[in-house]
Amino acid sequence: MSVSLQGKIAVITGAASGIGLAATEALLEQGATVVMVDWNEAALIALAGKLGEKAIPQITNLLDEGSCNRMIPDILQKVDHIDILYCNAGSYIGGNLADTTPDAIDRMLNLNVNAVIKNVHAVVPHMTERKTGDIIVTCSVAGHFPIHWEPVYSSSKWAITCFVQTMRRQMIPFGVRVAQVSPGPVVSALLADWPEENLRKAKEAGALIDPSEVADAVIYMLTRKRTVTIRDMLVLPTSFDGV
């Protein structure tokens, strides 16, 4: 049975593009208010203005320690509570490990893992006090399979799978659902770092999905009755044969 999201308040990181923007639009269509979190101030302000008064911009740089730590307190100055936290922001490194740099590795792990853990850490007291809430994280099929051409990215998503599934168990007594959505390759700016040959083959084979398909999965997860948790949903292009 589907549950209404009318009147719910959601926070989405990486909301100015890709899956984050698609999820923002989907939640707004469901009647929710969405706090759109992104570092790209110009894009975020423009999108919030276009999407209407239920789209609230929050400028946060998740790679800046102070900005990341202020995110949840700043948001709770704009809205009186948070029903949904969707940690979606992330980055990608593909190719051989020897071809990347220590700085790039630090940046990706800080965004894909550390920022997620910090954001969840910040919202947990709020949700446990209210005895309700949903936390969803964008993981990846790479969090379930050791994809050899993306060892750093896959490692970050394996870490997220562990974090989400341990937190899911911790939050059960408090009525807070914790889950992840694990897409295959999605048409987005992240694929710019894919090996050119892999990207070409994926496009030719139709082995990519649109961000809206991931957003649809998130809506399905959020609209289950409170006694049901979809702990993970893998959303793959039908032609994808990477795993």
Residues annotated as catalytic are 153
Separation CA 69–CA 61 (nearest Å): 10
Specify whether the CB–CB gap between 186 and 209 falls below 8 A. Answer: yes
- Sheet of 84-87: strands edge to edge? 55-59, 33-38, 9-13, 84-87, 133-138, 176-183, 232-235
Residues with Cβ within 8 Å of 18's Cβ and at least 6 positions away in sequence, in order, are: 186, 188, 189, 190, 211
The SS3 call for residue 42 is: helix
**Distance set, CA 103 to CA 28, 62, 117, 179 (Å):** 37, 16, 20, 30
Q: CA of 217: how far to CAs of 33, 37, 110, 207, 220, in Å?
A: 19, 20, 26, 18, 5
